[in-house]
């Protein structure tokens, strides 16, 4: 017998149907199934641990660098410039200028700033660039894809909403992305928000396509028909029933897009258009460090390795999610 | 077939015009004037600025500016803001520099990815497969310039080879063989660096595609017939797995302009990407716009080519 258990939220399910489902032992929600499949992927789990650790580090780092004066990333200690990692602070420093525990875990840069403190602050800024940019691209992508998928058949004059929005997406896809980002960032006044917005605006196209495809498939499903028959308003069908079910591929591309955004920011920094001081991001620490690659290689290696590890973690989690969501693979693995 | 072609080409041309209008608007509406770049120059008088603005139509309304740009572009008279030289010959010259780098990169990517990806698919789950997966993800995740700097350091230190620029300074008078070797060395390292990410991405695609095809019924049939494994993999599976890559080949074209900014900057390679970067720094709008326009045109051409390739290669696709 078939179970009338659409993937729709439980709040709209009839209590009888839910009880029936539980009696049949369908206790596992799609999220639990996903988690079970995801957990088997060791690399992806490793990536997840790294990301969780990173978020903690970024938050704690933001607090520490903001409120603990000796860990202020902008403190200039010229007598201690270009010290290698783990070296003790020089004795000529005033007592209240000494770094925590009297050492520089990641050394100091050309102005004697504590690289450890700068990396801590940078982790927060780099992550926020990634997350904000991806939120913007998700917002645009879900809106355009959702409109095209749900209201696609409506006519606006001679052309349908669907072809209008999708042709627009095609137009944007034809732009040389990195070149356009570079142009706009170079022309706009330098600001961290402009960089987030530009990266977001230039990366929503794949999300829009995924969401549209999912919506086209979901429209025909029974639980949407049922929701319509119940007389639910359209916004409720869209936001409570369709978007949560369309999120799976979007989540994957969002995870990978965060990685992309962090890399794009570092590439922009390399070309001199990245986030400007006083913000430290991993990208601009790395880009500044390349001038000292012979004298102070740690200024180059530490941020580079950090970016590599974090972007790798995002990519691994994204791929792990994709594999876990792919029912064909899941069946074969289980 | 011909009617389909004509219709697609007309559609693409319309799309190209829309794109050119959008990019013109975006770039012209952004703040920043070419006359501001040299604002501190004491030789620049107010009347000079007015004269310059007039000669580049900077005071006209934006749609007139667009028409001027289009007209100049089509007649080949478009002049760069920076040095007043015609834009198109300059782009052509840089294009000839970019072409070897692009061709070499593409060659490396496409010859290396297939063996790696096919092996990974055949030995799915083995140590080789997991190893290449991890290496591929690492290469995708590393900032390109970070890896390039490390590689430059290594090459310069262990082989004492110069790798920056098109050729070593002062070798113009050297004998032929030496000059050729010098050019090759200068070409290999940048294209290898630009290719690494490409290999990582493409070999993953090859692996996924091979896995999908190897699970098909006709592969099982071929095995059941008693064909040797070589024949099954390369004769039956690979031939079908190749189809999607035909389309990817067309999509390579735009990489000629936009894909190489970082690497051309690192290796001081005077190609199209570096030209665009210099144009952006100088607010050289005609150059930026023309490069953007050409990149969009190449993208559309690439899509068209891949559609045609696909129709030619895959007999299941019929075009009315």
Residue from the list B27, B137, B295 with its beta carbon closest to the beta carbon of A316: B137
Summarize the confidence of residues A285-289 as an average pLDDT. 87
Q: What is the pLDDT of residue A132?
A: 94
Q: What is the pLDDT of residue A312?
A: 93
- Kindly tell me the burial class for residue A314, based on how many C-beta atoms sit within 10 Å of its own C-beta (0-12, 13-18, 19 or more): buried
Q: Which of A52-56, A206-210, A270-274, B244-248 tops mean pLDDT?
A: A52-56
Average pLDDT, chain A: 82
DSSP string, B178-201: HHHHHHHHHHHHHHHHHHHHHHHH
Give strand ranges (E) for A130-270. Answer: 155-156, 159-160
CA–CA dist A155, B313 (Å, integer): 37
Which residues of chain A neighbour B23 with C-beta distances below 8 Å?
Answer: 175, 180
The Cα of B265 is separated from the nearest Cα of chain A by a number of Å equal to 8
- Rounded to the nearest 10 degrees, the angle between the axes of helix B285-313 and helix B272-281 is 150
Q: What is the pLDDT of residue A6?
A: 46
Summarize the confidence of residues A20-43 as an average pLDDT. 75
The Cα of B255 is separated from the nearest Cα of chain A by a number of Å equal to 8
Q: Do A186 and B145 touch (CB under 8 A)?
A: no
- Which ranges of chain B does DSSP label H, i.e. alpha helix? 2-29, 34-37, 46-55, 62-75, 87-122, 127-141, 144-159, 176-214, 217-224, 229-230, 238-241, 243-250, 255-258, 261-266, 272-281, 285-313
**What number of CA atoms fall less than 13 Å from residue A11's CA on the CB side?**
5
The Cα of A134 is separated from the nearest Cα of chain B by a number of Å equal to 17
Chain A contact present for B296, CB below 8 A: yes
Q: Do B146 and A180 touch (CB under 8 A)?
A: no
Which residues of chain B neighbour A259 with C-beta distances below 8 Å?
Answer: 141
Cβ-contact B275, B17 below 8 angstroms:
no
DSSP string, B3-62: HHHHHHHHHHHHHHHHHHHHHHHHHHHSS--HHHHTTT-TT--HHHHHHHHHHTTTTS-H
Does A332 have pLDDT greater than 60?
no
Q: Which residues of B124-138 are buried (b: 16+ CB within 10 A; e: fewer)?
A: eeeeebeebbeebbb
CA–CA dist A296, A309 (Å, integer): 21
CA–CA dist A277, A74 (Å, integer): 10
CA–CA dist A82, A74 (Å, integer): 15
Q: What is the pLDDT of residue A331?
A: 46
Q: Do A171 and B31 touch (CB under 8 A)?
A: no
Q: What is the pLDDT of residue B51?
A: 73
Which pLDDT band, with edges at 50, 70 and 90, does A52 fall under?
Answer: very high
Which pLDDT band, with edges at 50, 70 and 90, does A3 fall under?
Answer: very low
Cβ-contact B152, A310 below 8 angstroms:
no
Q: Which residues of A256-277 are buried (b: 16+ CB within 10 A; e: fewer)?
A: bbbbbbbbbbbbbbbbebbbee
> What is the CATH topology of the domain spanning A123-325?
MetI-like fold (1.10.3720)
Mutation test of the interface with chain B: which of A164, A187, A259, choosing the one with the most B Cβ atoms within 10 A? A187
Q: Do A180 and B22 touch (CB under 8 A)?
A: no
CA–CA dist A238, A224 (Å, integer): 9
Q: Do A308 and B141 touch (CB under 8 A)?
A: yes
Q: Do A174 and B300 touch (CB under 8 A)?
A: yes
Measured between CA atoms, the residue of chain B closest to residue A285 is B146
Q: What is the pLDDT of residue A4?
A: 45
- Kindly tell me the burial class for residue B274, based on how many C-beta atoms sit within 10 Å of its own C-beta (0-12, 13-18, 19 or more): buried
Predicted-complex ipTM score: 0.81
Cβ-contact A75, A46 below 8 angstroms:
no
Summarize the confidence of residues A278-304 as an average pLDDT. 86
Domain boundaries, chain A: 123-325
In chain A, pLDDT over 70 holds for what percent of residues?
88
CA–CA dist B189, B163 (Å, integer): 7
Q: What is the pLDDT of residue A18?
A: 64
More confident residue, B8 or A47: A47
CA–CA dist A102, A92 (Å, integer): 12
pLDDT in tens, A108-132: 887 878 888 888 888 998 899 999 9
Which residues of chain A neighbour B261 with C-beta distances below 8 Å?
Answer: 178-179, 182, 271
- Kindly tell me the burial class for residue B258, based on how many C-beta atoms sit within 10 Å of its own C-beta (0-12, 13-18, 19 or more): buried
pLDDT in tens, A131-151: 999 999 999 999 999 999 888
- pLDDT of chain B, 320 residues: tens digit per residue: 778 788 888 888 888 888 888 888 877 776 666 555 555 666 667 777 777 777 777 777 778 888 888 887 787 777 777 777 788 888 898 888 888 888 899 999 999 999 999 999 998 888 998 899 889 999 989 988 888 888 888 888 887 777 777 777 666 677 778 888 888 888 888 888 888 888 998 998 899 899 889 888 988 998 899 888 888 888 888 888 888 887 777 777 777 776 678 888 888 888 888 888 888 887 788 888 888 888 888 888 888 888 788 777 777 766 54
The Cα of B176 is separated from the nearest Cα of chain A by a number of Å equal to 35
Does A246 have pLDDT greater than 90?
no
Residue from the list B141, B254, B277 with its beta carbon closest to the beta carbon of A312: B141
Q: What is the pLDDT of residue A313?
A: 94
Residue from the list B133, B259, B296 with its beta carbon closest to the beta carbon of A174: B296
More confident residue, A84 or B237: B237
Residue B159 pairs in a beta bridge with none
CA–CA dist B198, B178 (Å, integer): 30
Model pTM score? 0.83
């Amino acid at each position: 017998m078939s179970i009338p258990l659409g993937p729709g939220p439980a709040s709209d399910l009839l209590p009888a149907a839910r009880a029936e489902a539980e009696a049949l032992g369908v206790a596992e929600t799609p999220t639990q199934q996903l988690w079970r499949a995801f957990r088997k992927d060791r690399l992806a789990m490793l990536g997840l641990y790294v990301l969780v650790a990173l978020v903690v580090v970024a938050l704690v780092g933001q607090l520490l660098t903001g409120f603990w004066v000796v860990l202020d990333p902008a403190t200039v200690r010229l007598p201690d410039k270009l010290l290698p990692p783990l070296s003790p602070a020089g004795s000529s420093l005033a007592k209240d200028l000494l770094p925590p525990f009297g050492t520089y875990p990641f050394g100091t840069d050309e102005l004697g700033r504590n690289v450890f403190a700068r990396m801590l602050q940078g982790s927060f800024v780099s992550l926020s660039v990634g997350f904000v940019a991806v939120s913007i691209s998700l917002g645009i992508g879900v809106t355009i894809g959702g409109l095209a998928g749900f209201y696609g058949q409506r006519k606006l004059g001679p052309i349908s909403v669907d072809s209008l929005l999708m042709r627009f997406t095609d137009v944007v896809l034809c732009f040389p992305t990195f070149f356009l980002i570079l142009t706009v960032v170079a022309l706009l006044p330098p600001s961290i928000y402009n960089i987030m917005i530009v990266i977001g605006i230039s990366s929503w196209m794949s999300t829009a396509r995924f969401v549209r495809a999912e919506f086209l498939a979901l429209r025909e499903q029974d639980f949407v028909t049922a929701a319509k028959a119940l007389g639910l308003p359209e916004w409720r069908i869209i936001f409570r029933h369709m978007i949560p079910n369309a999120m799976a591929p979007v989540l994957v591309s969002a995870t990978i897009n965060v990685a992309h955004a962090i890399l794009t920011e570092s590439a922009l920094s390399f070309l001199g258009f990245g986030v400007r001081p006083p913000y430290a991001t991993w990208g601009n620490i790395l880009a500044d460090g390349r001038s000292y690659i012979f004298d102070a290689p740690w200024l180059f290696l530490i941020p580079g390795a950090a970016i590599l590890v974090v972007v790798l973690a995002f990519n691994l989690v994204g791929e792990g999610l994709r594999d876990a969501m792919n029912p064909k693979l899941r069946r074969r693995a289980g | 077939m011909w009617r389909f072609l004509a219709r697609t080409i007309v559609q693409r041309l319309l799309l190209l015009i829309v794109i050119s209008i959008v990019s013109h608007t975006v770039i012209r509406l952004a703040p920043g004037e070419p006359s501001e770049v040299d604002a501190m120059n004491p030789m620049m008088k107010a009347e000079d600025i007015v004269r310059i603005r007039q000669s580049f139509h900077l005071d006209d309304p934006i749609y007139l500016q667009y028409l001027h740009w289009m007209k100049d572009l089509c007649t080949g008279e478009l002049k760069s803001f920076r040095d007043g030289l015609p834009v198109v010959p300059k782009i052509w010259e840089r294009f000839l520099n970019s072409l070897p780098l692009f061709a070499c990169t593409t060659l490396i990517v496409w010859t290396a990815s297939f063996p790696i990806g096919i092996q990974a698919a055949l030995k799915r789950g083995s140590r080789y497969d997991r190893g290449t997966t991890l290496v591929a993800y690492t290469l995708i995740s590393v900032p390109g310039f970070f890896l390039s700097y490390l590689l430059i350091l290594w090459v310069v230190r262990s082989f004492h080879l110069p790798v920056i620029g098109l050729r070593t300074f002062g070798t113009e008078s050297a004998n032929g063989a030496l000059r050729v070797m010098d050019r090759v060395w200068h070409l290999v390292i940048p294209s290898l660096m630009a290719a690494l990410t490409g290999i990582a991405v493409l070999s993953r695609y090859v692996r996924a595609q091979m896995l999908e095809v190897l699970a098909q019924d006709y592969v099982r049939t071929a095995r059941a017939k008693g064909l040797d494994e070589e024949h099954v993999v390369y004769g039956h599976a690979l031939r079908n797995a190749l189809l999607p890559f035909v389309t990817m080949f067309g999509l390579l074209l735009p990489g000629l302009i936009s894909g190489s900014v970082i690497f051309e900057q690192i290796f001081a390679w005077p190609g199209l990407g570096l030209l665009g970067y210099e144009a952006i720094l100088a607010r050289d709008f005609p150059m930026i716009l023309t490069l953007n326009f050409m990149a969009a045109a190449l993208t559309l051409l690439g899509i068209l080519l891949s559609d045609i390739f696909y129709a030619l290669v895959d007999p299941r696709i019929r075009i009315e």
